[in-house]
């Protein structure tokens, strides 16, 4: 990654396939985007996961376009060299017209590309988005925007019908022209098969280590949301605990200063 000097393009990301593993993290605000840019992060995702770790929603289905636009603008103000990918939120790509209009709004807010969940069922929307010149990243496996239908987060591809559908959808996304695809909670053996059969990079999250890259929610990686950590994440830091310790120390300083001044 030392050679990353100019703005990353989707062609650069495609070029990682078979050459170098792709690390991707989420960014929801200006400071994190600046930090990731200084670390030469090739892609940063303004994910609808911000609904849980920033906005306090129970799941991603309550995230609105207004929420996404607000956070995309904040990330874009950092002018990162890495590719800014923005999630199309729940209900924003129900049909071709909505998918195109909302993708254009995210692009105008500063996103370089958009991401949406699904395969064959949203193929017309994906084709229409790509036809406008907006790059598209796919998302298969466990689809968080369908959590109310699913009832729980679970590994996909354990049964033959799921495996066949995932292989079909992965091939379809690749053929349509997705420049990369996220595989979330896909059985590792199946994620490996998909990775070997598609021409674009696969980005795993809870899908084993054989994907072309890995993506995590930044808060999960650094322990910034201690109330819930996915089973497949081992935090590298306990930043929430460090923040609490810093605040405690400051609180003590304030109280001690007040007591000292009172005695004087």
Name the active-site residue from 20, 94, 121, 184: 184
**What are the residues facing 26 on neighbouring strands?**
45
Residue 247: DSSP 8-state:
H
Given a contact cutoff of 8 angstroms between Cβ atoms, the answer to whether 147 and 172 are in contact is: no
Closest of 66, 28, 77 to residue 217, by C-alpha: 28
Nearest partner of 138 among 111, 159, 166, 161, judged by Cα? 166
Rg (CA), the chain: 20
Angle ∠(125,130,200) on CA atoms, nearest 5? 105
Q: Rounded distance, CA 92 to CA 88, Å?
A: 6
Instruction: Examine the residue annotation and report whether 150 is marked as an active-site residue of this protein.
Output: no
Whether 30 contacts 73, CB under 8 Å: no
CB proximity list for 111: less than 8 A, separation 6 or greater: 46, 72, 76, 84, 85, 86
d(CA 142, CA 145): 9
Rounded-to-integer distance, Cα 55 and Cα 52, Å: 6
Instruction: Report, as residue numbers or ranges, the catalytic residues.
Output: 184
């Amino acid at each position: 990654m030392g050679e990353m000097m100019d703005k990353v393009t989707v062609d650069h990301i495609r070029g990682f396939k078979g050459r170098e593993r792709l690390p991707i993290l989420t960014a929801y605000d200006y400071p994190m985007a600046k930090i990731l840019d200084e670390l030469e992060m090739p892609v940063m995702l303004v994910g609808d996961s911000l609904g849980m770790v920033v906005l306090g929603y129970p799941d991603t289905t309550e995230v609105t376009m207004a929420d996404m636009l607000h956070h995309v603008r904040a990330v874009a103000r950092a002018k990162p060299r890495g590719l800014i990918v923005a999630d199309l939120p729940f209900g924003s790509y129900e049909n071709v017209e909505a998918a195109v209009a909302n993708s254009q709004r995210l692009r105008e807010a500063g996103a370089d590309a958009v991401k949406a969940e699904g395969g064959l069922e949203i193929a017309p929307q994906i084709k229409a988005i790509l036809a406008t010149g907006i790059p598209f990243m796919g998302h298969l496996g466990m689809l968080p925007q369908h959590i109310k239908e699913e009832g729980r987060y679970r590994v996909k591809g354990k049964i033959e019908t799921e495996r066949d559908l995932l292989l079909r959808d992965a091939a379809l996304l690749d053929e349509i022209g997705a420049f990369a695809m996220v595989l979330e909670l896909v059985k590792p053996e199946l994620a490996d098969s998909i990775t070997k059969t598609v021409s674009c990079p696969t980005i795993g999250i809870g899908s084993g280590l054989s994907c072309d890259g890995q993506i995590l929610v930044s808060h999960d990686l650094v322990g910034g949301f201690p109330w819930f950590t996915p089973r497949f994440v081992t935090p590298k830091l306990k930043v929430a605990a460090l923040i609490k310790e810093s605040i405690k120390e400051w609180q003590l300083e304030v109280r001690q200063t007040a007591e000292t001044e009172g005695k004087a």
